[in-house]
Amino acid sequence: MDSRKVKKFVLNNLAYVIFGYAGNIISFAFRTAEGKDVSEKILPALNNLGTAFAHIIPSFHPVDLLVGVAVGVAIKFIMKMRAANKKKFRQGTEYGSAVWGTEKDIEPYMDFKEKDNNVILTQTEGLTMGKPSHPKYARNKNILVIGGSGSGKTRFFVKPNLMQMHSSYIVTDPKGTVLIECGKMLERGRPVRDEKGNLSYQPYRIKVFNTIDFGKSMHYNPFAYISKKNREKDILKFVDVLIKNTQSSQQNGGDDFWVKAEKLLYTAYIAMIFTINPPEEQNFETLIEMINSSECREDDETFQNAIDRLFAFIECWINDDFPNDVEISNEFQEMKANQPNEEQKRLGAFACKQYHAYKLAAGKTAKSILISCSTRLAPFAIDEVLEITSYDELGLDKLGDELSALFVIISDTDATFNFLVAIMYSQLFNLLCTKADNSEGGKLNYHVRCLLDEFANIGEIPQFEKLIATIRSREISASIILQAKSQLKAIYKDNADTIEGNCDTTLFLGGKEKSTLKEISESLGKETIDSFNTSNTRGQSESYGLNYQKLGKELKSQDELAVMDGGKCILQLRGVRPFFSDKFDITKHKHYHLLLDDNPKAKFDIAAFVRKREKRYLTLKSTTKVDVYKTDENEDLA
């Protein structure tokens, strides 16, 4: 038997054994006392007690043993009954125990030796980027920042954390002001000291994707991140994010057929692009050209356009099965002379399957599908968009390998091109996760922090609720910055709670949206306060009364949150009392002098940066060339 269990049993029952022993001795003294009845035995029995207890050894007479056992059992039964009916009192916390956190509460979660190694949250609170002193203090670095317009989301959170320079950063930058104000600091780099204590600087590799002014942007080609190893899977992911972020908010379930049909066509065309086109042609422009060449005739189901002929040829080519009576047109003669490799066979077969499914639609239906595709891709009618997506310079898969800062400049008033940003973020998270999984230790070389300002304007990132739950172990974190919680629910619906639940930290900078105030007030809890009432009754005999009672009150009620001081904020960290603190004073940071806020010479020129990088101005196309294929019905493949 386990010695610990034996010890516990003995300790729990020792008191009852003592009571049983006492009952046994008293029974012995009473039984051996002289006297004919009970009244005569009382005094002699009392005199015998001293002698009986002096012998120590209990009586083994059956009556004495029975009395001793009965007393022990009775005492234990009484104690059990009292414990079962015991009143639970929590003095001072009857209606709630909520209190504000103190310096001692946050101490285990911060790095006080290397202050640059903290995530800045408030003036007095932060979160270490390293391992805490004990695993129980480990928290993920995902942060939900909520603040109404003008509450200082950029000044009190984004900029201070950029000044820490302990990670690679991906920053959503509405209007491009953050890059202009902080770019020079990052360009100089973070200070590092060698073994001898000599100071040097490790510069950031700055990258910019600008959807407001494409002339001040580096190129981003989503096709460049469709990996060779997982082409089919990545194509399906890419098509899914394209559909979700170019879908009108007015579309409903009745449009589901057209969406699925569009997916078939996009999937077939993109797979075909990777089958036969060289890398420099694997972009949106080629996709648009294929759609423009997909002529349909409602009155002639047998008509074959240039794309029909292409797919028919590819199917014969990858299977090495050309009918003897078929004439091969000139544009396919060179390809026929070369045998397809294994990847071309696999991708070509995948493309043909998708295209055959699309071609099941009748002429009129197929034409409607093409119109839907053209409508969805209408932004690509702009030459600047085709130019900026023609090739790739961002190198998203390198962000975890080197100290980098990617600024994604979006408009906070016009969401026309935000679908490109959503596609980029979707690819980015998947690329970094895959990169980490294939790296030694299963994580990136540099922690990548995503400061997602105006998160609601980015659009929906597919499977984001799953991504945010899994990126922690791969040295990736996301700071979701919103004006109100309702913005998250509007985009991610039921998954909004999952996303919020995977953020161990919530920072409220102020606001007045009712549902947000209600949720924060409820999550802070209630405290117990003392209240007293006075009464004064006047009449023939005047009386005065004073009544004290306890009440429960929210730590911060909704109306108190609505009028919270502009310099204050509320921090909630999982497993810790909430903090009511001052917002971070950016002017006290040691790198503040490197920002444009303090130094007029520290302005980062985005146009000059792009020009210097490419050694030329971005030359935007004046026209988009679309090859027109002439169809000769006599040359159609059987």
3-state class of 283 per DSSP? coil
Number of domains in the chain: 3
Angle, vertex CA 457, rays to CA 453 and CA 460, nearest 5: 105
Helical H runs in 85-175?
A: 103-106, 153, 159-164
Residue partners of 606: CB distance under 8 A and separation at least 6:
176, 179, 180, 183, 208, 210, 216
Distance CA 95, CA 430 (A): 47
Asked if 407 and 425 sit in the same domain, the reply is yes
Domain boundary pick from 39, 65, 84 = 84
Give domain status of residue 599, yes or no: no
Give domain status of residue 117, yes or no: no
For residue 212, the 8-state DSSP code is: S
Asked if 257 and 193 sit in the same domain, the reply is no
Give domain status of residue 70, yes or no: yes
Specify the DSSP element, H or E, that contains 500.
Answer: helix 496-501
Q: Is the backbone of residue 73 left (phi > 0), alpha (psi -120 to 50) or beta?
A: alpha
Asked if 185 and 286 sit in the same domain, the reply is no
Domain boundary pick from 58, 84, 110 = 84
Give domain status of residue 26, yes or no: yes
Cα–Cα nearest to 154, from 191, 182, 115, 188: 182
Asked if 382 and 399 sit in the same domain, the reply is no
Asked if 427 and 295 sit in the same domain, the reply is no
Q: State which residues form the domain around 33.
A: 3-84
pLDDT digits (tens, 9 = 90+) for 537-590: 776 777 777 777 777 788 899 999 999 999 999 999 999 999 999 999 999 999
Asked if 445 and 588 sit in the same domain, the reply is yes
Distance CA 180, CA 488 (A): 28
How far CA 374 is from CA of 303, 332, 457, 631, in Å, comes to 21, 27, 24, 22
Distance CA 312, CA 434 (A): 35
Distance CA 531, CA 83 (A): 32
Distance CA 310, CA 272 (A): 9
**Paired residues of 545 in beta bridges:** 535
Burial (0-12, 13-18, 19+ Cβ within 10 Å), 218: buried
Domain boundary pick from 84, 119, 148 = 84
Asked if 381 and 482 sit in the same domain, the reply is no
3-state class of 512 per DSSP? coil
Asked if residue 571 lies in contact with residue 507, where contact means CB atoms within 8 angstroms, the answer is: yes
pLDDT the model gives residue 333? 66
Asked if 54 and 193 sit in the same domain, the reply is no
Amino acid code (one letter) for 489: K
Asked if 46 and 187 sit in the same domain, the reply is no
- Residues of the chain short of pLDDT 70, as ranges, are 1, 36, 38-40, 45, 47, 51, 86-95, 248-255, 323-334, 337, 532, 539, 614-638
pLDDT the model gives residue 625? 41
Give domain status of residue 559, yes or no: no
